[in-house]
Amino acid sequence: MAESGTRGLSFGEIADRYDRFRPSAPAPALDWLLPDGCETVVDLAAGTGALTRRLVSRVPQVVAVEPDPRMRETLARNCPEARLLAGTAERMPLPDGGADALLISMAWHWMDPQRAMPEIARVLRGGGTFGVLWNHRDLSVPWVAGLDVFTRALRARESGQDVTTQAPTRNVMDPPTGSLFSPLVELRLTWSMPVTAEELVGHLGTDAGAIALSADARHAVDERVAGYLHDELGLSGDRKIELPMACRCLRTTRNPDAAT
């Protein structure tokens, strides 16, 4: 997760935790997003490389672009197969038309659409694929929604905010295609990942609302969440449960004749 502005760069403060507990995209999403015969793909706002590591097993050339140096350090250590560059959606150090696909996972909301879309179009070849995906806990499942409400209330108290200000903000504007890209097409799917209590606490701690807290406040929230998981879900120790996830993907192609 990263962006041009300073708030997105705060994720670098917990790079190791982010790398350990943040889930990657499910395989069916990548099957749908990557074009046939893809030779070069850009993972934009690559973070610590959760998506990058999936891409290097599928595409011969993977370029990871990430502005936060702390995130890049972790990514370089864990995924040396990818070419790693410092850059943002609004300014990528890449040649014109060199990529068959460009993907963004869980980071579109940090970007400036009016500046990012022409830059993405510049980097893609004509007919290249631009894909965006969001991968969230599935709040349509009652116990997941209950955990979400409990966790947000804890964060609000620790930060001195009203609980209502901690409500999920999932209504992010879709990428504007304009004349540069074809109309967006959408895929929605659900999946699940097995987690222990420690892994679920760690995963919740990678949310933006958690990262905004001080280290002491994050620790306090972690302890309370662990207690909730034990008392309400019977989850502790090595026992695992399936965490329901919901993934939304958008895909478009660069119009070959559009001028950037």
Q: Label residue 95 by pLDDT band (50, 70, 90).
A: very high
Greatest Cα-to-Cα distance within the chain, rounded to the nearest angstrom: 59
Asked if residue 73 has pLDDT above 90, the reply is: yes
d(CA 199, CA 256): 44
- With contact defined as beta carbons under 8 Å apart, do 226 and 197 qualify? yes
Strand partners for 124: 99
Domain 1-136+180-191+247-260 in CATH 3.40.50.300? The answer is: no
Q: CA torsion, points 251, 56, 120, 187, in degrees to nearest 10?
A: 10
Average pLDDT over residues 40-52: 96
| Domain limits, CATH 3.40.50.150, in the chain | 1-136+180-191+247-260
Q: Label residue 19 by pLDDT band (50, 70, 90).
A: confident
d(CA 126, CA 112): 22
Which token pair is 50? Answer: 């959760």
d(CA 107, CA 52): 14
Average pLDDT over residues 69-76: 93
Residues 6+ apart with CB under 8 A from 71: 1, 2, 11, 12, 15, 18, 46, 47, 48
Which token pair is 104? Answer: 């963004």
Strand partners for 133: 105, 249
Q: Label residue 210 by pLDDT band (50, 70, 90).
A: confident
- Give the pLDDT score at 2: 39
- Give the pLDDT score at 39: 98
CA atoms within 13 A on the CB side of 97: 9
Q: Label residue 5 by pLDDT band (50, 70, 90).
A: very low
Which token pair is 91? Answer: 């300014």
